[in-house]
Amino acid sequence: MRYLRNGKYHRNQGPIYIFVGGEWSISPGFLVTGLTHDMAVENSGMLFYTEHRYYGQSLPHGEQSFEVDQLKHLSIYQSLADLAHFIRYQKSQNPRMKESKVILVGGSYAGSMVAWMTQLYPDLIAASWASSAPLLAKADFYEYMEVVSQSIRLSYGQNCSTRIQKGFHYLAKLFTENQILELLRKLNGCEEYDPNDVLDRAAFFNGLGNYFALIVQSYSSYIPQLCETLMSLHANDEVAFEGFLALLFAEGRRSTDCQDFGYAAMLQLFTTSALSLSLTVRAWFYQTCNEFGWYSTTASATGTSIDTTNSSLGATWSTFANQVPLSYYERLCLDAFGPAQTRERLDQGIEQTNNQFGGFQFNQSVRYGRVFFTHGQLDPWRSLGKQNGNQAIVLRRYSHCEDLGSIQVRDSVQMNLAKLRVMSFLRRHTRYTAHS
């Protein structure tokens, strides 16, 4: 495990703050800025930033780490054991840390980690702050794209989400009526794409839906700009959506660079041959295939598709056209990691995760009593997290992990009050008794 360190103890012994890394490569940023840094400075603490095994430079088997046989050492239990070992090692090596209380902070999957760490190793952790943390493992995470649609409507208005909805269903109709090839040529799609292949079709809708999901989750302040562009293109929803796709995929592109919308291109992201890309994408996909699921399906809550030729847009019509079933992701897992990567294996892994950690419906006074949860109202991940109770806050008009920064004037009053509550909660759990 690689880690970064900053801060120092002053005359009074302070706590240990650990900003926990997830499915990414760590960098010094959170050691010099952000609310965790501010708390460490205020309380004369030591601040660490730890890197998750198989991500960044923390590769247990070097260049062979991403081979199927070596990925068996990648799991939530191994990563939490790494963190426990790190804490014990630091305390054993530095006398000033021996009696220090440990505070964990994490966002997204790392937020899940700090909550689960507090349950598995209660003797090591005084308290944790879990930002935007999903707690319930499930394969068919259809709620994700539903919240994406709701967040667009909340941020801009019904007219934008309706235009997106009509646009996606128009595309589905073109596929059903074998008329999609003309549009794909306009978008400079690669000739190898087969619109009659169910996997290629799902990959097209998955990739396009991911564009809107990325804006909502990671760049929520750009939602109004996206909608302004979409609403300005044409009075007709379908024509406007075609124009928007042209802006995304066709205009300004060199004619030699075709757009590969197919399944093979998606699968390439998760294979060891994708050396030009970060192989941490493969590592994260392996974890989802074995422990969490969390697949953003759009084939409705019951996993069934609907008649895309129906001209009405009733409540049963999902915004993203019900074109990405769970079976699409299950096939990706199988093709990326081999015949042992079955649906049953995914189901068993999800059941084990939920049995161990309890999902998200729990009495917090009994479970996770020393964890504070925060979520953004716009964040699609909040639907799998703890949103209710005295130790949970949903932040209006914010999205994924937007609360990890320092207190600042441009944030809402609710956001800054939430940060003060988090700081107060963690401070209470670092108070020492007289014999400490």
| Average pLDDT score over residue span 227-244 | 96
Query: What is the per-residue pLDDT for 146?
Result: 96
Enumerate the CATH 3.40.50.1820 domain ranges in the chain, comma separated.
Answer: 3-136+360-428
Percent over 70 (pLDDT), the chain: 91
Distance separating alpha carbons of residues 65 and 81, to the nearest angstrom: 18
Note the pLDDT of residue 244: 97
Task: List the one residue out of 343, 394, 409 whose CA is nearest residue 147.
Answer: 394
Using pLDDT thresholds of 50, 70 and 90, give the confidence band for residue 433.
Answer: very low
Specify the pLDDT at position 274.
Answer: 52
pLDDT value for 361 = 84
Q: Is residue 107 pLDDT above 80, yes or no? A: yes
pTM of the predicted structure, to 2 decimals: 0.93
Alpha helices (runs of H) in 20-62, residue ranges in sequence order: 29-32, 35-42
The pLDDT score that the predictor gives to residue 217 is 97
Q: What percent of the chain has pLDDT over 90?
A: 84
- 304 pLDDT band, cuts 50/70/90, is very low
What is the model's pLDDT at position 394?
98
Report whether pLDDT(267) > 90. yes
**pLDDT tens-place string over residues 40-95:** 999 999 999 999 999 999 999 998 999 999 999 999 999 999 999 999 999 999 99
How far, in Å, CA of 305 to CA of 203, rounded? 16
Which of 21-25, 189-193, 314-318 is predicted least confidently? 314-318
pLDDT digits (tens, 9 = 90+) for 129-178: 999 999 999 999 999 999 999 999 999 999 999 999 999 999 999 999 99
User: Containing H/E element for 6?
Assistant: strand 3-6
Give the pLDDT confidence score for residue 166 in this predicted structure: 97
pLDDT band at residue 252 using 50, 70 and 90 as cut-offs: low
Architecture of domain 3-136+360-428: 3-Layer(aba) Sandwich (3.40)
pLDDT of residue 10: 56
**How sure is the predictor about 366, in pLDDT bands with cuts at 50, 70 and 90?**
confident
User: 122-134 as b/e, with b when 16 or more CB fall inside 10 Å?
Assistant: eebbbbbbbbbbb
Say how far apart CA 60 and CA 66 lie, in whole Å: 10
Q: pLDDT tens-digit profile of 309-360? A: 333 333 345 899 999 999 999 999 999 999 999 999 999 999 999 999 999 8
Q: Cα-Cα-Cα-Cα dihedral of 387, 388, 390, 393, to 10°?
A: 30
Is the model more confident about 1 or about 26? 26
pLDDT range class, residue 187, cuts 50, 70, 90 = very high
Provide DSSP, 329-392. HHHHHHHHH-TT--HHHHHHHHHHHHHHH-TT---TTTSSTTEEEEEETT-GGGGGS---STTE
pLDDT of residue 308: 35
Mean pLDDT of 202-215: 98
**pLDDT on residue 256:** 63
> Is the pLDDT score of 210 beyond 90?
yes
pLDDT for 318: 82
Higher-confidence position of 302 and 144: 144
Predicted local distance difference test score (pLDDT) of residue 248: 92
